[in-house]
């Protein structure tokens, strides 16, 4: 029987690249998705595609059959209790290794679900690797593209705080490394990009790459919330973003570590490289593509 690696969130920003990175390494991959039919057509190299839903335990048995390792992420709308129950199920069927996508600082921040999910995983018999990731560069594309395309503005309420942005593609590659190599048992890695930038510097980089002026108006939390609300963004998501940008405003998102370099064996991608890779989407020439290069 071939051991299989299960990827949860396989259609998501990080998961889709974890699947691709594992497929590149000739590993048996299983993509756990809520809609297998759509995912099979949209995901390149999705491997074995099975129905999987954190909220539907009846889908867990098939997803976990013969699984040796799991890439585990918590979709923002899924309860921590459902994630923890799934971890317990994985433990019961003998899964050896869970790689959990967490967030930078989760070990100290007791109010966020990642903190408690990490602890829950550590309390099982499963070997774990925690990937505590900084702020994804992909948020610039998936959340803030409209401000850049329509208003020539980077409209986030982060003050002059710096952020150690990381490209989700680098997180995915690091996840593939720790899933496959044997040396990462019961360890945590703080995954950041190579530098911490404030949003003024990010706007300058946008201007240089796109060849037109992109400004950072440094909006208040209220002005930001109002614009997002007018765009139809759900209130819960606006509140989540305000929390994240307040963290950056307070200077708590600026830590740069060597861990990405350690796992990737190269420097992680810069913000400039990310903008260059997606320049067409930021110019408004194409829709943001979930299947990024």
Binding residues for ligand NAP (CB under 6 A): 9-15, 33-35, 52-55, 73-78, 101, 103, 133, 135-136, 139
Q: Which is nearer to ligand NAP, 132 or 184 (CB)?
A: 132
Q: To which residue do tokens 């809520």 refer?
A: 34
- DSSP codes, 96-149: -EEEEEEETTTTT-TTSHHHHHHHHHHTSSSEEEEEEE--BTHHHHHTTHHHHH
Shortest separation between residue 263's beta carbon and ligand NAP, angstroms: 16
Distance between CA 169 and CA 21 in Å, rounded?
9
Helices (H) and strands (E) in the chain, counts: 14, 9
| 3-class DSSP assignment, residue 154 | coil
Q: Which is nearer to ligand NAP, 139 or 283 (CB)?
A: 139
Q: How far is the CB of 136 from ligand NAP (least distance, A)?
A: 4
> Which one, 53 or 259, has the nearer CB to ligand NAP?
53
Cβ density class 214-250: b for 16+ within 10 Å, e for less: bebbbbebeebbebbeeeeeeeeebeebbebbbbbbe
- Closest to ligand NAP by CB, 4 vs 168, is 168
Terminal-to-terminal C-alpha distance of the chain: 33
As measured in angstroms, the least distance from the Cβ of 138 to ligand NAP is 7
Which CB sits closer to ligand NAP, 141 or 203?
141
In the complex, minimum distance from the CB of residue 268 to ligand NAP, in angstroms, rounded to a whole number: 14
**Residue 212: CB minimum distance to ligand NAP, A:** 26
DSSP state of 55: T
Strand 29-33 versus strand 48-51 pairing type: parallel
Shortest-Cβ-distance residue relative to ligand NAP? 12
Residue 13 or residue 260: which is nearer to ligand NAP going by CB? Answer: 13
Rounded-to-integer distance, Cα 61 and Cα 58, Å? 7
Q: Which is nearer to ligand NAP, 112 or 152 (CB)?
A: 112
In whole angstroms, the minimum distance from the beta carbon of 127 to ligand NAP comes to 21
Distance (Å, whole) CA 150 – CA 17: 29
Minimal distance, residue 234 CB to ligand NAP, in Å: 13
């Amino acid at each position: 029987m071939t051991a299989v690696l299960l990827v949860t969130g396989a259609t998501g920003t990080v998961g889709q690249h974890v699947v691709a990175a594992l497929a590149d390494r000739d590993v048996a991959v299983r993509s756990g998705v809520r809609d297998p039919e759509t995912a099979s057509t949209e995901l390149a190299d999705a491997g074995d595609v099975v129905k999987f839903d954190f909220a539907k335990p009846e889908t867990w048995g098939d997803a976990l059959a013969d699984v040796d390792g799991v890439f585990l992420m918590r979709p923002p709308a899924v309860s921590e209790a459902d994630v923890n129950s799934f971890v317990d199920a994985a433990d019961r069927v003998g899964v050896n290794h869970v790689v959990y996508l967490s967030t930078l600082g989760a070990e100290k921040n007791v109010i966020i679900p990642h903190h408690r999910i990490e602890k829950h995983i550590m309390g099982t018999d499963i070997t774990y690797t925690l990937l505590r990731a900084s702020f994804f560069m992909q948020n610039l594309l998936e959340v803030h593209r409209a401000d850049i395309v329509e208003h020539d503005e980077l409209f986030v309420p982060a003050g002059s705080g710096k952020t150690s942005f990381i490209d989700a593609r680098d997180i995915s590659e690091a996840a593939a490394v720790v899933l496959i190599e044997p040396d990462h048992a019961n360890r945590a890695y703080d995954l950041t990009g190579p530098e911490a930038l404030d949003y003024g510097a990010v706007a300058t980089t946008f201007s240089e790459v796109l060849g037109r002026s992109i400004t950072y108006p440094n909006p208040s939390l209220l002005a930001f919330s109002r614009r997002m609300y007018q765009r139809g963004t759900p209130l819960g998501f606006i509140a989540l973003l305000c929390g994240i940008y307040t963290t950056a405003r307070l200077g708590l998102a600026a830590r740069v570590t060597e861990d990405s370099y350690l796992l990737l064996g190269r420097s992680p991608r810069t913000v400039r490289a990310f903008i260059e890779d997606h320049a067409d989407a930021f110019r408004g020439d194409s829709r943001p593509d979930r299947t990024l290069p």
